[in-house]
Amino acid sequence: MKKKMNIPIMNISIMKLALCFLILFTFSGCLGGREINDLEIVIGMGIDKDESTGNILLTAQVVKKEEVGGSGKGEGGGESKVFWNVSSIGNSIFDAVRQITHKTGDRLFVSHNQVVIFGKDIAAEGLQKYIDFFLRAHEMRPTALILIAEGRASDIMDVKPETEKFPAINIAKLIKSYGFTSHLYKVNMKDFASCLMSATTAPLAPLVSLSQNKDDKDIYVSGMVVFKNGKMIGKLNQEEVRGLLWVLGKVKGGVIIVSSPDKQGNAVLEIIKAKSKVTPEIKNGKIAMHVSIKEESSLAEQSTTENLATCPAFDEMQKASAEIIRQEILAAFNKSKELNADIFGFGEILHKKYSKKWKELKDNWDDIYPTIELKLEIETKILKTDLLKKPAFPSNEGE
């Protein structure tokens, strides 16, 4: 008597399915999970030149995981640092990144890197050869902000901010809030690299400085650094940066102070909106850039007793603010001519419109750039006076 052996079709399909899953997990190569505990979360990196050896000094700001949440726990022990600036010296950046594991014990986890700060000596030497790693490494964020330290990057990263826990995140916050003043603008790795690759456009990066007031150290952004061929060649101050941003159309907000029509005090305007349009023109071999700017603002503050909410006053203030904008733009333009660096990206604009002529222009752009003429057309408009219609003074009209 034989027992019936019937293999249902089900079993075969189950075997097929199991095989599929086996293949999935053996061939996928995705088995490299890492527990969060084992991560050294890097939130900021600084690159300096080691003074004695001339090698690269890498400072990584690593989160001290056990200290972060415990503001309540460690009360008695005073303030303990929640971050750790660990540094190492290497021949290349990647070498230094790997060298750091001698100190941290774990590989750095750089996906959350917020800022990369280059020391001034590195910037002067040329960023091109240092930036490669940050663009190439797959863990690196292309949106990490790029900054230049006025002194050494490691000093900047040591300054403990008052409200934020981490210096790197604080610096990133400083840069990201540029819209309130338009005195700088944020440049990330991707933007910087695309400017680097352009033949004409000069990249810029914010410059962070350290101010020392007795024991208190503070960080502030003092302007932007201009690069040419990857090397730092100069610096734009805050007004010049805004002049540049007017042309680029990147002004998001900020304050324009004009003297009031009665010359007794000031009227302060807040920029609400700004637009720009750049049209290149080549006439008789001379290049002119027509820049038209439309700006809208509101009256945010006044320091005179005069009622500024009148048509003649508005007209006058609009004219005055247009003049200030013009001054700022010209300051930036003159500075760029002085440095002979195309910070406005005029080269690219010409390339788009006059692509045939561009081939001739491209090769001696350095000679052509200082000869470019700038034609400005600025239109300003004050839209509102916010909550007050009259200043808080006794009215001297009527009677």
Partner 1 sequence: MFGYIFKKIRYLSLKNKDKSMLQDTIAKKNSEPISSDLERNLEVIKGILSDSSDVTIHEFNFGHDRRFKGALIFINSMVDKEEIHKNVLQPLMYGTLLLNKDIDMDFTQIDTIRRNLISMIDNLKVTLLSDLLDNLLAGATILLIDGSKEALVINPGKRESRAIDEPGTEAIVRGPREGFSENVNVNIALIRQKIKVPDLCVEKFIIGDKSKTDIFIVYIKSVANPKLIEEIKKRLSRIKVDAILESGYIEQFIEDNPYSIFPTISHTERPDKAVAKILEGRAAILIDGTPFVLIMPMVFIESFQSVEDYYSRPFLASIVRVIRFLSYIISTLGPAIYVALTVFHQELIPTQLLISIANGRERVPFPAILEALLMLFTFDILREAGVRLPKSVGQTVGIVGAIVLGQASVEAGLISPIMVIVVSSTAIASFAVPAQTGSGTILRYIYLVLAGLAGGFGVIMGLLATLLHLASLRSFGVPYLWPIAPLDFSGLKDTFIRMPLWTVSKRPKAIVWSDFDSYKQSPDLMPSPNGEGN
Task: Give the footprint of partner 1 on this chain (CB under 8 A).
Answer: 1, 3, 10, 17, 21, 24-25, 28, 30-37, 39, 41, 43, 63, 65-66, 68-70, 109, 111-112, 114, 139, 141, 169
CB closer to partner 1 out of 165 and 252? 165
Name the minimum Å distance from CB 107 to partner 1. Answer: 12
Answer for the pair 293, 379: CB distance below 8 angstroms, yes or no: yes
Name the minimum Å distance from CB 57 to partner 1. Answer: 25
Name the minimum Å distance from CB 66 to partner 1. Answer: 5
Rounded to whole angstroms, the Cα distance separating 185 from 249 reads: 12
Contacts of 149 (CB under 8 A, 6+ apart): 46, 117, 118, 119, 120, 155, 156, 207, 208, 209
Instruction: State whether residue 282 is helix, strand or coil.
Output: strand
Answer for the pair 175, 219: CB distance below 8 angstroms, yes or no: no
Phi, psi of 14 (to 5 degrees): -65, -40
CB closer to partner 1 out of 54 and 70? 70
CB closer to partner 1 out of 28 and 355? 28
Name the minimum Å distance from CB 33 to partner 1. Answer: 4
Name the minimum Å distance from CB 132 to partner 1. Answer: 20
Name the minimum Å distance from CB 142 to partner 1. Answer: 12
CB closer to partner 1 out of 32 and 312? 32
344: left (phi over 0), alpha (psi -120 to 50) or beta: alpha
Answer for the pair 148, 123: CB distance below 8 angstroms, yes or no: yes
Dump the DSSP string for 352-378. HH-HHHHHHHHHTHHHHGGG-EEEEEE
CB closer to partner 1 out of 32 and 398? 32
CB closer to partner 1 out of 24 and 282? 24
Contacts of 327 (CB under 8 A, 6+ apart): 243
Q: Which residues pair with 63 in a beta bridge?
A: 83
Name the minimum Å distance from CB 29 to partner 1. Answer: 9
CB closer to partner 1 out of 22 and 199? 22
Name the minimum Å distance from CB 32 to partner 1. Answer: 8
What do you get for the CA distance between the two ends of the chain, in Å? 126
Name the minimum Å distance from CB 41 to partner 1. Answer: 6
CB closer to partner 1 out of 66 and 363? 66
Structure tokens at 187: 């440049």
CB closer to partner 1 out of 9 and 392? 9
Instruction: State whether residue 38 is helix, strand or coil.
Output: helix
CB closer to partner 1 out of 12 and 68? 68
Answer for the pair 395, 311: CB distance below 8 angstroms, yes or no: no
Rounded to whole angstroms, the Cα distance separating 227 from 202 reads: 6
Name the minimum Å distance from CB 131 to partner 1. Answer: 20
Q: What angle do CA 358, 328, 352 make, to 5 degrees?
A: 15
3-class SS letters over 116-157? EEECHHHHHHCCHHHHHHHHHCCCCCCCCEEEEECCCHHHHH
